[in-house]
Structure 1
Amino acid sequence: MIEFIGVEKKYSAATAVAQLDLTIDDNQFICVIGTSGSGKTTLLRMINRMIAPSTGTIKINGQDTAKLNEDELRRKIGYVIQNIGLFPHMSIRDNIMVVPGLLKWSAQQKQGIAERLIEKVELPLDYLERKPKNLSGGQQQRIGVIRALAANQDIILMDEPFGALDPITREALQEMIKRLQQEMQKTVIFVTHDIEEALKLADKIIIMDHGEVIQYDTVETIIKQPANAFVEELLGKRKKQTSLGNEMQVRDLMCSEVEAVSLSKSIHAAMEQMTRKRVDTLLVVDDENHLKGFIDIKDLNGSVPKETNLYEIMRTDTASVNQNENVADVVDPLLNMELKYLPVVDDENYLVGILTRSSLVSLIYAQLK
Structure 2
Amino acid sequence: MIEFEQVAKKYGKTAIAVQPCDLTIEDDQFICIIGTSGSGKTTLLRMINRMTEPSEGMIKINGQDAKNLNEDDLRRKIGYVIQNIGLFPHMTIRENIMIVPKLLKWSNDKQAGIAERLIQRVDLPLDFLERKPKNLSGGQQQRIGVIRALAADQDIILMDEPFGALDPITREALQEMIKGLQQEMKKTIVFVTHDMDEAIKLADKIIIMDHGEIVQYADVTTILEHPANDFVEELIGKRKRNSYYNIEMTVEALMVPQVEAISLSKSVTDAIRQMSDKKVDTLLVVDDQKCLKGFVDINFIERNISKLKPMTSIIEIMERDTASVNKKALVADVIEPLINHTFKYLPVVDDEEHLVGIVTRSSLVSLVQEQLK
Is residue 259–residue 283 contact of structure 1 (8 Å, CA) maintained in 2? yes
CA RMSD across the alignment: 0.8
Give the Cα separation in 2 of the matches to 1:357 and 1:147: 36
| Structure 1 residue 344 corresponds to structure 2 residue 351 | no
Deviation at 1:144, TM superposition (A): 0.4
Give the Cα separation in 1 of the matches to 2:108 and 2:148: 17
**3-state SS in 1 of match to 2:89:** coil
| Equivalent residue, structure 2, for 1:161 | 162
Give the Cα separation in 1 of the matches to 2:233 and 2:291: 40
Deviation at 1:87, TM superposition (A): 0.7
| Equivalent residue, structure 1, for 2:370 | 366
Deviations, residues 303-336 of structure 1 (Å, cap 9, x unaligned): 2111100001111100000001000011122223
| Equivalent residue, structure 2, for 1:174 | 175
Deviations, residues 204-262 of structure 1 (Å, cap 9, x unaligned): 00000000000001101111111111111111111002322322100110001100000
Give the Cα separation in 1 of the matches to 2:49 and 2:244: 41
| Equivalent residue, structure 2, for 1:309 | 313
Give the Cα separation in 1 of the matches to 2:167 and 2:150: 24
| Equivalent residue, structure 2, for 1:20 | 21
Give the Cα separation in 2 of the matches to 1:204 and 1:165: 24
Deviation at 1:298, TM superposition (A): 1.4
| Structure 1 residue 219 corresponds to structure 2 residue 220 | yes
**Structure 1 letter corresponding to 2:40:** G
| Equivalent residue, structure 2, for 1:330 | 334
Give the Cα separation in 1 of the matches to 2:340 and 2:111: 41
| Equivalent residue, structure 2, for 1:8 | 8
Give the Cα separation in 2 of the matches to 1:223 and 1:235: 7
Is residue 168–residue 337 contact of structure 1 (8 Å, CA) maintained in 2? no
Give the Cα separation in 2 of the matches to 1:336 and 1:92: 34
| Equivalent residue, structure 2, for 1:300 | 301
Deviation at 1:46, TM superposition (A): 0.1
| Equivalent residue, structure 1, for 2:358 | 354
**Structure 2 letter corresponding to 1:10:** K
Deviations, residues 104-145 of structure 1 (Å, cap 9, x unaligned): 111111100000000110111111111111111111100000
Deviations, residues 181-209 of structure 1 (Å, cap 9, x unaligned): 00000000000000000011000000000
Q: Which runs of 4+ in 1 moved over 4 A?
A: none
| Equivalent residue, structure 1, for 2:137 | 136
| Equivalent residue, structure 1, for 2:194 | 193
Which consecutive residues of structure 2, in runs of 5 or more, have no partner in the other structure?
A: none
**Structure 2 letter corresponding to 1:360:** L
**Structure 2 letter corresponding to 1:332:** E
**Structure 1 letter corresponding to 2:261:** A
| Equivalent residue, structure 1, for 2:260 | 259
Give the Cα separation in 1 of the matches to 2:267 and 2:105: 43
**Structure 2 letter corresponding to 1:317:** D
**3-state SS in 2 of match to 1:172:** helix
| Equivalent residue, structure 1, for 2:229 | 228
**Structure 2 letter corresponding to 1:163:** G
Deviations, residues 42-62 of structure 1 (Å, cap 9, x unaligned): 000000000000010000001
Identical columns (%): 71
Deviation at 1:337, TM superposition (A): 3.5
Give the Cα separation in 2 of the matches to 1:344 and 1:18: 45
**Structure 2 letter corresponding to 1:221:** T
**3-state SS in 2 of match to 1:287:** coil
Is residue 257–residue 353 contact of structure 1 (8 Å, CA) maintained in 2? yes
Q: Name whichever of 335-344 and 192-201 sits farther off.
A: 335-344
Is residue 139–residue 317 contact of structure 1 (8 Å, CA) maintained in 2? yes
Give the Cα separation in 1 of the matches to 2:273 and 2:283: 11
Give the Cα separation in 2 of the matches to 1:128 and 1:149: 16
Give the Cα separation in 1 of the matches to 2:340 and 2:241: 16
**3-state SS in 2 of match to 1:148:** helix
Is residue 167–residue 336 contact of structure 1 (8 Å, CA) maintained in 2? no
| Equivalent residue, structure 1, for 2:209 | 208
Is residue 255–residue 354 contact of structure 1 (8 Å, CA) maintained in 2? yes
Aligned residue pairs total: 369
**Structure 1 letter corresponding to 2:293:** K
| Equivalent residue, structure 1, for 2:80 | 79
Give the Cα separation in 2 of the matches to 1:75 and 1:368: 56
Question: TM-score, with normalisation over the residues of structure 1?
Answer: 0.99
**3-state SS in 1 of match to 2:236:** helix
Is residue 195–residue 234 contact of structure 1 (8 Å, CA) maintained in 2? yes
Question: TM-score, with normalisation over the residues of structure 2?
Answer: 0.98
